[in-house]
Amino acid sequence: MWWLRLKGKHVCPVERAGTLDSRIRRLVQNPYKILKPYIKKNMTVLDIGCGPGFFSIDMAKIVGSSGRVIAADLQYGMLEKIKNKIKGTKFQERIILHKCEKDKIGVTKKVDFVLLFYMVHEVPDIELLFKEIGTILKPKGQVFIAEPLFHVSKQVFENNIKKACNKGLKIVQRPRIFFSKTAVLEKT
Ligand SMILES: C[S@@+](CC[C@H](N)C(=O)[O-])C[C@H]1O[C@@H](n2cnc3c(N)ncnc32)[C@H](O)[C@@H]1O
């Protein structure tokens, strides 16, 4: 079974981590190239729904040794995948693993940037998600949202962006990413 049901929403199972973290994906969705325009050295950044860390590790490369990446996920199994990947590397210092609850991110540190890549459609209460992000994000901090092109309709995607805007975020960019609907928002 590809998907697990968690109170009505599908959550990508740990068994699918390999497809999220593949070389083929890297060819069409290069994490470094996608995120470099938004993340700077020394930043503290948050990857919510990080999965096996396809983006988290490149985020750690960009923030450098004085920056921090909080890699947050609902599933211990996903966090375990990242933990094993960074064990004994320079990224161990830079990446903080964080276990979220279904309706609570629970990060107390203020961050400069939040990544929500292919995860918003799995969250039970999207308004609550953006409300909490508003409290975690520093002023002028940015949120990068990407959802799978066909899995999430234009209407649902735009409706979710509206929910984010109602929580104090404004759209600043629509980057083009293969197979995705996207928006970059900024805290007003
Ligand atoms: C499709 S995967 C995407 C993983 C990663 N962002 C990527 O693009 O490779 C979605 C991830 O979001 C996580 N997730 C789902 N609901 C969540 C929630 N409410 N809070 C935190 N993580 C969640 C899942 O456990 C899963 O690892």
Tokens of 181: 């609907």
When computed from its CA atoms, the radius of gyration of the chain, rounded to whole angstroms, is: 15
Angle at the Cα of 182 from the Cα atoms of 47 and 65, rounded to 5 degrees: 30
The pLDDT score that the predictor gives to residue 6 is 43
141 backbone dihedrals φ, ψ, rounded to 5°: -65, 155
The reported pTM is: 0.96
- How far, in Å, from the CA of 173 to the mean position of ligand 1? 23
- How far, in Å, from the CA of 187 to the mean position of ligand 1? 22
What is the number of the ligand 1 atom nearest to the C-alpha of 146? Answer: 8
Beta-carbon neighbour count of residue 38 at 10 Å? 20
Nearest to 12 by CA among 57, 66, 51: 51
The pLDDT score that the predictor gives to residue 8 is 56
The pLDDT score that the predictor gives to residue 3 is 42
Work out whether strand 9-11 and strand 4-6 pair parallel, antiparallel, or are unpaired: antiparallel
What is the number of the ligand 1 atom nearest to the C-alpha of 103? Answer: 19
User: Are the C-beta atoms of 82 and 59 separated by less than 8 Å?
Assistant: no
Q: Ligand 1 atom 27: the closest Cα is on which residue?
A: 51
Nearest to 47 by CA among 3, 2, 1, 91: 91
- How far, in Å, from the CA of 186 to the mean position of ligand 1? 21
Q: What DSSP character marks residue 10?
A: E
Q: Give residues (CB < 6 A) around ligand 1.
A: 11-12, 20, 48-51, 54, 73-75, 78, 100, 102, 117-119, 122-123
Q: Which domain holds residue 161?
A: 4-187
- How far, in Å, from the CA of 49 to the mean position of ligand 1? 3
- How far, in Å, from the CA of 47 to the mean position of ligand 1? 9
Three-state SS for 115? strand
- How far, in Å, from the CA of 52 to the mean position of ligand 1? 9
Looking at the 3D structure of the chain, how many domains does it have?
1
Cα–Cα distances in angstroms (integers) from residue 49 to residues 41, 52, 72, in the given order? 22, 9, 6
Cα 103 to Cα 35: distance, rounded to the nearest angstrom:
26
Tokens of 131: 């409300």
Q: Ligand 1 atom 4: the closest Cα is on which residue?
A: 51
Here the CATH number for the domain that contains residue 113 is: 3.40.50.150
Work out whether strand 111-117 and strand 169-173 pair parallel, antiparallel, or are unpaired: unpaired
What is the number of the ligand 1 atom nearest to the C-alpha of 124? Answer: 19
Q: What is the mean pLDDT of each run of 10 residues along the chain (188 residues)?
A: 52 95 97 98 98 98 98 98 98 98 96 98 97 98 97 97 98 98 97
What is the number of the ligand 1 atom nearest to the C-alpha of 21? Answer: 9
Three-state SS for 117? strand
